[in-house]
Amino acid sequence: MAMSSHYLRCAGRELHYTEWGDPQAPAVIAWHGLARTGRDMDELAEHLSARYRVICPDTLGRGLSQWSPDPGREYTLAFYAQLAQGLLDGLGLDQVHWVGTSMGGAIGTVCAGGRVVPALKGRLKSLVLNDNAPRLADAAIARIRAYAGEPPAFDSVLELEAFFRQVYKPYGWLSDAQWRRLTETSTRRLPDGRVTPHYDPAMVQQFTLHPNDYLIWDDYDAIDIPVLCLRGAESDLVLPETTAEMLRRGPGLRGLTTVVEVPGCGHAPALNVPDQLQLVSDFIARAQAA
């Protein structure tokens, strides 16, 4: 079914989201990465929309969602989980499957664990972590902080597209049309007429003011639903020793965690090609049947 665009007030902030599929079908939340927007999930949402209602939010401070007036407090996983609760409550969703790329996976982990927002415990039926884990490599976080905190500005959209093609090369293969859409859906124009990525640079305060915000083993250990971790085979953010530990503790110890390495990608697989889409849809289908 065709995509539609919506806005909803969650935890006192306006969030933008796109929606695909039958409103009466089982729901999937597809949450994007740190400096991205919900439109990154278009291919996945279209693929899933024949069987599911798919909701793709823009995180606070990204895309068309409101920017935070209190960045030091609100650009955190804890507040993002409150936004997620507001989204589910506002849409009347009792249970959802969750697919999260990078930061979106971390938000899903915090929601599924139920430690931060107890009202979310039991409302996630399954969790896909797209190149995300309860511990991230320090060197990769430093790299992301460096480029995300000072987004460049360019005179033309084509120059910005060239920048995106370089910085997001680890996503793997994207068609020219997909690169163009990625650019056009994550571009904003500055007062001087130049263009820059469509997010609030203050969101990087999550890393400076809350340096351990992504160290979430306690949340992961509290999860009792099926987890699929897709690790980009060349990822510098999610290390093999971390995914091995995921299999030894929490839901992994209970046989609920599966780790799959995705070839030809680093951080993070774009979820835009048949093999990746099938991995996700098969996992959700098994969880839904169970």
- Give the pLDDT confidence of 197-242 residue by residue, as tens digits: 999 999 999 998 999 999 999 999 999 999 999 999 999 999 999 9
Q: What is the mean pLDDT of residues 153-169?
A: 97
pLDDT at 144: 78
Residue 114 placed within a domain:
yes
Report the DSSP pairing between strands 187-189 and 257-262.
unpaired
Q: Is residue 44 part of a domain?
A: yes
Model pLDDT for residues 33-46, shown as the tens digit of each residue: 999 999 999 999 99
pLDDT tens-digit map of 96-128:
999 999 999 999 999 999 999 999 999 999 999
pLDDT confidence tier of residue 265, bands split at 50, 70 and 90: very high
User: Would 76 be classed as within a structural domain?
Assistant: yes
Mean pLDDT of the chain: 97
Q: What are 82's two structure tokens?
A: 């409150």
Residue 183 domain-assigned (yes or no) = no
Predicted local confidence at residue 165, as pLDDT: 98
User: Which tens digit of pLDDT belongs to each residue from 171-181?
Assistant: 999 999 999 99
Q: How many domains does the chain have?
A: 1
- Three-state DSSP at 189 gives strand
Structure-model confidence comparison of residues 125 and 290, the more confident one: 125
Residue-range definition of the domain harbouring residue 117 = 4-136+213-289
pLDDT tops 80 at residue 49: yes
Alpha-carbon distance of 168 to 256, in angstroms, equals 31
pLDDT of residue 207: 92
Q: In sequence order, which ranges of 196-239 are alpha helices (DSSP H)?
A: 205-209, 217-221
Domain annotation covers residue 126? yes
pLDDT at 119: 96
Residues present in the chain in total:
290
- Tell me whether residue 155 is in a domain: no
C-alpha 258/C-alpha 246 separation (Å) is: 9
CA–CA dist 18, 163 (Å, integer): 26
In a domain, 198, yes or no: no
pLDDT of residue 21: 98
Residue 1's pLDDT band, with cuts at 50, 70 and 90, is low
- Render pLDDT for 15-35 as a digit per residue (tens, 0 to 9): 999 999 999 999 999 999 999
Listed in order, strand segments (DSSP E) in the chain are 4-10, 13-20, 27-31, 53-57, 96-101, 124-130, 187-189, 195-197, 227-232, 257-262
CATH number reported for the structural domain that contains residue 85 in this entry: 3.40.50.1820
Average pLDDT over residues 81-101: 98
Tell me, what's the pLDDT at 148? 78
Asked whether residue 171 is domain-assigned, the answer is no
* Distance linking the first and last C-alpha atoms of the chain: 25
Cβ pair 187, 195 in contact under 8 A? yes
Q: pLDDT over 70 for what percent of the chain? A: 100
